[in-house]
Amino acid sequence: MTSGSRTCPSCGAAGSGRFCSACGAALAPGACQHCGTPLAPSARFCAGCGAPAGSGRRPAVSRAWAAAIGAVVAALAGVALLARTEAPARAIAAADAPAAAVTPPDISQMTPRERFDRLYDRSMRAAEGGDTATVARFAPMALLAYQQLDTIDADARYHAALLRLHTGDVPGAAALGDSILAADPGHLLGYVVRATVGRWRKDSAAVRTAYAGFSRHYDAEMRAARPEYTAHRTMLDEMRQRAASER
C-alpha cells in the first residue's frame, strides 16, 4: 500500500483521498450528514440517527442479493452521483403507471417524504406477495429516498429498518431500531424492530428482551396517541399478543 493510501472500511479496497474509488464510501472520519454526530472511520451507521455513515454511500445490499439486484445497484451508483433526487421519482412513475400508459404520471411536486412513503409501500406490497424481484428493484431506491429526507422521525426509521431487512441488511436494520430508542426511549416501534431483527437472527433471548421492553412501555406509549401508532395499530396488537405469550 502506497504512502497516504488507506483501506476502505466498507469494501476493503485500497484508496486515498476522502472517498473510496471502488464503492464511494468515506475513507476519512467525519460527521453524520443528517444529525452531525461524529463518525468513526469504520462506522457503517450513525449511532445518533441510524443513517448510513459517509457521504454518497449507496444503500447497503447483502451479498446474497447481489445476483438478483446487481444491475439495479450499478444503475443506482450513477444516479446517486449525477441525479439523486430524480431516481425515486422515476421509480415511482414506473411503479404507478399503467402498462399501456404513454406518459408517466407527473410527480414533480411530490415531497421527499411522499417519495419515500410511496416507494416503501411498493416494496412492502411486493414483499407480502413474495415478489422478490420487485423488492430487489424498489427497496434500494426507497432507501435512497430515505437518505434524502430533511427530517427523520421514528416512523421513517421503522420503515427504513424493514426495507433493510428485506434487502438482507440485518445490521443496518438493528442500527435503525437502536436509533429509534436512542431518540425516544420507550418508543414501541424501536422494540418492534429489535424483536424482528432478533427473529431474523434466530436470537430468542434478544426477542424476549424486546418483548419485555415493549410490554413495559406499552400502556404509557399508547396513551401518548402517537400518529404512527394509529397507522400501525394492527401490527402493534400482534406484537402485544406475541409478547404476552412469552411471559
As beta bridge partners, residue 125 has none
Query: What is each CA distance from 163 to 18, 104, 139, 154, 215, in whole angstroms?
Result: 28, 25, 6, 14, 25
- Spatial separation of the C-alpha atoms in residues 81 and 190, rounded to whole Å: 32
pLDDT confidence tier of residue 195, bands split at 50, 70 and 90: very high
Torsion angles phi and psi, residue 23, rounded to 5: -125, -10
- Residue 100 phi, psi (nearest 5): -95, 5
pLDDT at 50: 61
Instruction: Give the pLDDT score at 110.
Output: 82
Per residue in 18-69, pLDDT (tens digit) is: 556 555 555 555 666 656 666 665 555 665 556 666 544 444 444 444 444 4
pLDDT over threshold 50, residue 99: no
Q: What is the mean pLDDT of residues 173-184?
A: 96
Segment 116-142, tens digit of pLDDT: 999 999 999 999 888 999 999 999 999
